[in-house]
Amino acid sequence: MSTFNGWTILTLPTFPPCPRSIEWQFSDTVGAARSPFSQQQQIYNWQASLLRASVSYQPMNNAQARAWLAFLASLQGISNIFQIGDPLGVAPQNSAAAAGTVTGSGQSGYTLVTSSSNLTPGDWIQVGLRLYLVTSVAGGTLGIWPQVRETPPDGTALIISNTQGLFRLTKNDRKISVNDAKVYGITFEIEEAI
């Protein structure tokens, strides 16, 4: 097993190959104060974002669900992490897209200067073990969401196919349902491991 920042990275079971559904949640930390006199708002953007999701898998029989039971138990609540990505966003929208590399060191915030080409807003990219959504493209400068997690060294390769990010459970409790037809239902809530 590999590790990242002292966290053990577990591998998702291979069946089924992708979730039945992922409900993504984009969270930004933005505050607002409203004047009681003029009703005007003052907005403060803390420049902090977090990607969350609710993940559901197709109903499974006892034999198929055993690997999932072991995986969910092995996570030890929020202690361990795993990689997962968007099952429908496995490749860029433009087949001519080229991944490229990070150009320049010390980058942070919601932009990333790269040598990539032909990426499209809405594409997913992976830098290191982190998952980012492309929000804008101006040459090789990509607007990304969420903000850069760890400053990538100059020359770090971008991954544009089968992208994944680091996630953990949002809480320590896991529920697995079993119905009278002896079918398991597995759903769990996740958020970026930061």
142/129 Cα distance (integer angstroms): 18
pLDDT in tens, 17-67: 889 999 999 999 999 999 999 999 999 999 999 999 999 999 999 999 999
pLDDT higher than 80, residue 13: yes
> Left (φ > 0), alpha (ψ -120 to 50) or beta: where does 118 sit?
left
Q: What is the reported pLDDT for 149?
A: 96
The CATH code of domain 89-163 reads 2.40.30.290
Fold matches, 1-85+166-194 and 89-163:
no
Q: Which CATH number fits domain 1-85+166-194: 3.30.160, 1.10.10, 3.30.200, 3.40.50?
A: 3.30.200
Q: What is the reported pLDDT for 1?
A: 76
Half-sphere exposure of 188 (CA within 13 A, CB side): 25
* CA-wise closest residue to 148 among 121, 103, 110: 110
pTM of this prediction?
0.91
Q: What is the reported pLDDT for 181?
A: 86
- The two beta strands, 81-84 and 7-10, are parallel
pLDDT higher than 80, residue 133: yes
For 89, the token pair is 């966003």
* Sequence-distant (≥ 6) Cβ neighbours of residue 94 within 8 angstroms: 118, 119, 120, 123
Task: Count Cβ neighbours within 10 Å for each residue of 149-170 and write b for 16 or more, e otherwise.
Answer: beebeeebebbbeebbbbbbbe
> What are the domain boundaries of the chain?
1-85+166-194, 89-163
pLDDT in tens, 54-101: 999 999 999 999 999 999 999 999 999 999 999 989 999 999 999 999
